[in-house]
Structure 1
Amino acid sequence: MSIRKRTWLTGKGEEKTAWVVDYVDTKGTRRLKTFAKKKDADQFAATAKVEVKEGVHVADSASATVKQAGSFWMASAQAAGLERSTINQYRQHLDLHIYPLIGDTLLSKLTVPAVRDFEDRLREAGRSSAMVRKVLVSLGSLLADAQERGLVVRNAVREKSRARTKGKERRQERRHKGKLKVGVDIPTREEIKAIVGALDGRWRPLLLTAIFAGLRASELRGMRWRDVDLEKRELHVRQRADRFNDIGRPKSEAGERTVPIPPMVVNTLKEWKLGYSRPIIGRDEDGKAIREDAKPDHLVFANGSGNVESLGNIINRGLVPVQVAAGVSVATDKQDEDGNTVMAAKYTGMHALRHFYASWCINRPQDGGLGLPPKVVQERLGHSSIVITMDVYGHLFPRGDDADEMAAAEKSLLG
C-alpha cells in the first residue's frame, strides 16, 4: 500500500494536486483512491490497511447503495417468513423515511457522522422521536444484512452509541406523554361497573374477557377454543391475529402465557360456546340459524363466517356503543336533529381495557384490586421485560408510605 502525490495541469494551465492511495483489496484487486488532502489519504490508508489484513475491506466501487441493500434486506425478511405487518412496516420505513433521504448513498459512505446527520434530518422533517428510533432500528437491520453479504464493513447504526441516546429519547417521550392517569387513560372502577352492566349480545363475552384477562386485541381475535380451559378457569395465549387478520405467534416469547379468569368470564364463555360463537352453516325452515358445533380449532370470537373478527368491528360495534349506553362518554361539538349534544365514547381503543386490567392486578385488595407483585403483573400482561411493566405502570403500585401506614409505623416504633 502506497500514497503518492499526483500533479497535473488543467486545460486553463492551472496546476492541480491530489493524493492517491494505491493498494490491493482482499480479493487481490488493485484499487486507487484519490483525496484532495494528504491527511485524508493517510487516514484512509491506515484504516484500509487494517481492514484488508482482517479481510473485511469493501472498496467504494464494490459497495452498494442504501436502496440496493434495502431490496436485498426486504428479500431476506420475506424469505425468513416474517409477519405481513412486519414486512409492511419495514417497507414503509424504507419508502417514506430512508430512501428519500439517503437512498442513493453508498453503504461505504454511511459512517457514524452520516447516520447522525440522517437522524437530525428525520427530526427536522417532523418525524417524532419514536418514529426516528424505529427507522434507525430498521436501518441497522438493513446494514447488518448488507454486512453478511459483504457489501459493507461496518454497521454505523450499531457502532453509534445508542444506549445513552435511546434512554434519553425514551425519557423525553415519557415526559411528553405523561403517566397513565385513572379516568383519563385508564377506566375507573365505576366506569368499568357501568360498562359491564351495559354489556349484552355478541360483544359481552369478548369485552368481559378483555376487561378481566387483559389480553391484547390481537390475542383475543386469534384465540381458539382449544386455548380456553373452562374447568381450570384459565386462558392460554398461544397465537394472535395481526392487523391483516393473519394468524401468527404472540408478540414475544413472554406473550405465550396462561391467564386465570374469574367466574363471571367462565360462565359467560360457557354460554357463548353453546350459542352465538359457532359459525352459521345454514338456516332451518323458520329462518333460524343452524350453527356448527364448536371445535377446538374454531376461533372463540370469530365473525359470522367463522373467520377473524376485524378490530374495527370490535371497537365501532362493541366498545364504543356500550360506553355511550353506559354513560361512559364525553360531549362533542356536534348536535343531533333535535339539537341535543352528541355524546362520544370516552375511551376509543381496546388498550384502555388492558390498562384497567393492569391497574386491577396492581391495586390493593382493600381498594378492589388483586394486589399482585410486579413480576406476576408482568407475566399476566405478557411483557417481555419487567422494565416495560414498571415504565408503564410503576406509578400505580402502592408505595407503602401513605398516611395510615406511616401512622402505624410510628406507633409501632414509639409505642
Structure 2
Amino acid sequence: MATVRKRKLPSGLIRWQAAYKDGSGARRFKMFERKSDAEAWLVETRHDVARGIHTPGSLSPTVKEAAALWIARCKEKRLEPMTVKGYEEHVNLHIVPFIGAKKLTEITVPAVNAFADQLRDAGRSAPMITRIVRSLGGIFKEARRRGLASTAPTSGVELDLPDRDDPRPVIPTKAELQAIIANATGRWRPVILVAIFCGLRASEIRGLRWADIDLDAKQLKLTQRADASHRIGKLKSKAAYRSIPCPPIVLNALREWKLVCPKRDTGKKGPDGEPVKVLDLAFPNGFGKVESHSNLAERGLLPVLIAAGLAEAKPLLNEAGRPVLDAAGEPKTVMIGKYGMHSLRHACASLWIENGHNPKQIQRLMGHSSIKVTFDVYGHLFADAEADQRAAESLQARLLGA
C-alpha cells in the first residue's frame, strides 16, 4: 500500500514520508518537505513501478559509477580507440567533476539544463557542451539497458546555448589554392592534389589503397580509412563508401607517384610467387605502413603553406600558456599554417558547388551521412546573390511602384 504520512524528525523538523513497494515487493521510503511534493512523486513512482521501469533511489548508481559502465560497454563494442578516448575525456574532465557524485535518479531535465549552465560558466564552448550532454545521454542509455535507470533526461532537451561564432568553415581562396598547388612538390604533391580536387578526409587519404584507384576509369573508390592509432578500418558511415571522379592533374600526379611509392613486402610470397605487400597504401610512410596524421600536417602541408606565404610565426607557449624562452631569454616561435587538411576538403566542396553541383550530389561526393550535414556546413555556398538582389528590387517595385 502506498501512503504519505507526516513525520517529526529528532531535530524537530516536520517532513512528509512517501512509502511504497517496488517491483520486487520491498518496502521503500522517501522524505519530502511538502506533502504535495510527496504525493506527486508517489503518483509518478507508482506509475513507473506498474510499468516495470522504476529504480529505487537507494539502488541507483552515481553518475560516476554509471559512466564507468558506459565506457566499459563502449570498449566491449569495439568502438574506435579515439572515439572511446573522447568519451573518457568527456567523463573525466567535464561530467564527473560537476555531477559525478549525484545519483542517476537525481538527474532530471532541469538538472541537465543546470549542468549545461555550469559548463558554460566554466568556459566550455557551446559545441563542447552539446557533445558532453550527448555523452551524458549515452550514460543513461547504458544504465537503462542494465535496469539501473528509468528515464532519459537528455532526450529532446533544448539547451538554448548562446553561440555567436561564425559556423561557416574556413576555406582557402582560389588564389591561395593556386599558390598551394604551385608549391606542392615531391611525395606530398599527390596528397595535396587529392585533398583539393577529391575532397577526401585525412583519414581516408591515409587509408587509400592503390587497388581503389582506377586510373583508367579516372576515379577513386573509398573503401577504408586509417584511424589515429594507425589502424585500418571501416569508414565513418555507410554514406562514406563512395566513388569520386579525378581531374587530369590528380591522375598524372598519381601515375608519377606510383612509380616511386614505397612498397615494402612481408617476406612472404603469394600463389603467383610475388611478394605479398603489407597494405598496398597509396600514401604510406617510408616503410609501406600507415602514415601518421601529424606527418601529413606538419611534414606535408605546413612546408607547402610556408612556401606559399600562408603561414606565420607565433609564440611557442607552454602548458600554462606562457611563452617558452630560448637560451638567450628570447621567446621561441613556431610556424603555424593558415589552413589544415580539412580546409582543403572544404575547398573541394566549394569548387563543386560553384561548378553547379546540387546539394544531393555534394552529400554523395563528400560522404555525408545526411543532407542536413551538407546544409549545416555548406548551406551558405548554395546561396544565389543575384537572385536575392532581384528579389529585393522586386519587393521595392511592389511597394513603391518604381
Say which SS state the counterpart of residue 34 (structure 1) adopts.
Answer: strand
Task: Provide Cα deviations, 1:190-240, integer angstroms capped at 9, x if missing partner.
Answer: 222222222221111111111111101111011112221112111111111
1:243–1:311 CA contact under 8 A, matched in 2: yes
Task: Provide Cα deviations, 1:17-66, integer angstroms capped at 9, x if missing partner.
Answer: 33222221111112122223211211121111111111111111111111
1:321–1:345 CA contact under 8 A, matched in 2: no
State the number of aligned residues.
370
Quote the residue 1:259 is aligned against.
244
Q: Find out whether 1:314 has 2:305 as its counterpart.
A: no
1:225–1:295 CA contact under 8 A, matched in 2: no
- How far did 1:344 drift? 5.0
- How far did 1:398 drift? 5.5
2-structure distance, mates of 1:61, 1:7: 20
**Which of these residues, 256, 263, 275, is aligned with residue 278 of structure 1?**
263
2-structure distance, mates of 1:331, 1:73: 43
Q: Please, which moves more after superposition, 213-222 or 315-324?
A: 315-324
Alignment of 1:259-408 (within 5 A): 259-279=244-264, 295=277, 297-330=279-312, 344=335, 346-363=337-354, 370-397=355-382, 399=384, 401=386
1-structure distance, mates of 2:63, 2:334: 50
1:226–1:297 CA contact under 8 A, matched in 2: no
RMSD of equivalent CA atoms: 2.8
Question: What runs of 5+ residues in structure 1 fail to find an aligned partner?
Answer: 283-291, 335-341, 364-369, 410-415
**Which of these residues, 136, 139, 147, is aligned with residue 139 of structure 1?**
136
**Which of these residues, 36, 54, 57, is aligned with residue 54 of structure 2?**
57
2:115 maps to a residue whose letter is F
Q: Please, which moves more after superposition, 352-361 or 191-200?
A: 191-200
Normalised by the size of structure 1, how large is the TM-score? 0.82
2-structure distance, mates of 1:359, 1:29: 64
2-structure distance, mates of 1:333, 1:122: 29
**Which of these residues, 33, 37, 40, is aligned with residue 36 of structure 1?**
33
1-structure distance, mates of 2:3, 2:102: 26
- How far did 1:381 drift? 0.9
Question: What runs of 5+ residues in structure 2 fail to find an aligned partner?
Answer: 268-273, 317-332, 395-402
2:207–2:224 CA contact under 8 A, matched in 1: yes
**Which of these residues, 13, 16, 19, is aligned with residue 19 of structure 1?**
16
2-structure distance, mates of 1:140, 1:331: 42
1-structure distance, mates of 2:132, 2:204: 26
Say which SS state the counterpart of residue 200 (structure 2) adopts.
Answer: coil
2:133 maps to a residue whose letter is L
Shift of the 354–109 alpha-carbon distance from structure 1 to 2, 3 Å rule, reads same
**Which of these residues, 152, 160, 165, is aligned with residue 176 of structure 1?**
165
Identical aligned residues as a percent: 42
Quote the residue 1:193 is aligned against.
178
Shift of the 7–66 alpha-carbon distance from structure 1 to 2, 3 Å rule, reads closer
1:349 maps to a residue whose letter is G
- How far did 1:126 drift? 0.8
The ranges of structure 1 where at least 4 consecutive aligned residues each deviate by more than 6 angstroms after the TM superposition are 331-334, 403-406
2-structure distance, mates of 1:345, 1:103: 38
Shift of the 333–43 alpha-carbon distance from structure 1 to 2, 3 Å rule, reads closer
Quote the residue 1:161 is aligned against.
157
